[in-house]
């Protein structure tokens, strides 16, 4: 696949600049506590399995403590119509790097987790040798009344993945570990960059803003734009990064399946503008 880097420079530099110019930090002060919400995961292998977990009941729960420890639990049902196994995984968190709006750590399977707080919602990516995924979490408060008042909204619907014709040996690695498979020809290239996202672009999602005489510009949109080539040919894309871009004429980017035209009308974070339409990582130009 041919990649052309954006002229705005490296994602790490963009994240550093955006963070330095932050003018309205989250009032919460830290990310410690309990979080719950939805998660998506795609295993890596010759026949990948694609999982989409809901928010109610939560498919992912996370607890973070001030000393950098914590615990996470990931539960994903087997995709309908496939032979992919369900995912049930629990892991302690140790040595997490926490700031008031970001968190970075590794789980027991050496997956890297990069999270950022955006408008009270904890979003992020996780990646390992067995696959990659994304998450959307909200803070879980104690007590039944508070829990009822803070139900996590269901994520926007995404195109249903096609059924896998046969089981993937690597799919079970999400819950039981394993080695890296042969990989997809067109698949998780963007998620291989979890380190890059964690070091730079994901920092921009923590509501970094830059003051301007006309107002503020929010750096939380996706810079990725692709041209869909004929069948059998990979897409031509401007970037592997899907966050850290100024939102142009929009408040927070164009939503999934909306009409996009970067840089004036970029897609929301974790989406890609493919031939003028915003799609997620399972769309016409996977990442």
As its CATH architecture, domain 33-176 has Beta Barrel (2.40)
Answer yes or no: is pLDDT of 176 > 80: no
- Tell me what percent of the residues of the chain surpass a pLDDT of 90: 39
177 against 36, higher pLDDT: 36
* Dihedral, 57, 62, 199, 183 alpha carbons, nearest 10: -60
pLDDT of the residue at 246: 87
Q: Which residues, 6 or more positions from 245, have their beta carbon under 8 angstroms from its beta carbon?
A: 8, 219, 220, 221, 222, 223, 262, 263, 266
- Residue-range domain boundaries for the chain: 11-23+187-279, 33-176
pLDDT digits (tens, 9 = 90+) for 80-116: 989 999 999 999 999 999 999 899 999 998 999 999 9
Residue 47's pLDDT band, with cuts at 50, 70 and 90, is confident
pLDDT of the residue at 166: 45
50 against 163, higher pLDDT: 50
Tokens matching residue 149: 């008042």
pLDDT of the residue at 218: 58
What pTM did the predictor assign? Answer: 0.47
Residue 29's pLDDT band, with cuts at 50, 70 and 90, is low
Highest-confidence segment of 53-62, 122-131, 169-178, 278-287: 53-62
Give the E-state strand segments of the chain in sequence order: 33-43, 50-52, 60-64, 70-76, 87-93, 97-98, 102-106, 112-118, 121-128, 131-140, 209-212, 215-218, 225-227, 236-237, 272-274, 277-279
Q: What's the mean pLDDT in 187-192?
A: 39
Q: What's the mean pLDDT in 154-182?
A: 44
The residue to which tokens 């750590």 are assigned: 105
pLDDT of the residue at 212: 41
Answer yes or no: is pLDDT of 193 > 50: no
48 against 196, higher pLDDT: 48
């Amino acid at each position: 696949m041919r990649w052309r880097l954006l002229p705005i420079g490296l994602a790490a530099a963009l994240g550093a600049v955006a963070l330095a110019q932050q003018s309205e930090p989250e009032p919460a002060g830290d990310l410690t506590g309990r979080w719950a919400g939805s998660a998506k995961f795609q295993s890596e292998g010759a026949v990948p399995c694609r999982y989409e977990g809901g928010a109610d009941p939560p498919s992912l729960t996370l607890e973070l403590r001030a000393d950098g420890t914590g615990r996470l639990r990931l539960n994903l049902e087997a995709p309908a119509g496939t032979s992919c196994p369900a995912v049930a995984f629990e892991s302690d968190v140790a040595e997490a790097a926490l700031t008031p709006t970001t968190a970075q750590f590794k789980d027991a399977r050496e997956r890297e987790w990069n999270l950022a707080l955006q408008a009270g919602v904890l979003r992020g990516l996780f990646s390992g040798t067995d696959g990659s995924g994304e998450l959307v979490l909200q803070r879980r408060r104690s007590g039944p009344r508070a829990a009822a008042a803070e139900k996590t909204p269901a994520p926007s619907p995404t195109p249903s993945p096609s059924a896998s014709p046969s089981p993937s040996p690597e799919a079970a690695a999400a819950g039981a570990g394993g080695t890296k498979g042969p990989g997809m020809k067109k698949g998780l290239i963007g998620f291989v960059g979890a380190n890059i996202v964690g070091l730079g672009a994901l920092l921009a999602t923590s509501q970094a803003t830059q003051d301007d005489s006309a107002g503020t510009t929010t750096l939380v949109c996706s810079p990725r734009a692709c041209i869909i080539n004929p069948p059998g040919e990979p897409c031509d894309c401007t970037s592997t990064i899907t966050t850290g871009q100024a939102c142009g004429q929009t408040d927070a980017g164009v939503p999934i399946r909306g009409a996009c035209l970067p840089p004036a009308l970029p897609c929301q974070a974790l989406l890609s503008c493919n031939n003028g339409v915003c799609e997620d990582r399972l769309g016409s130009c996977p990442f």
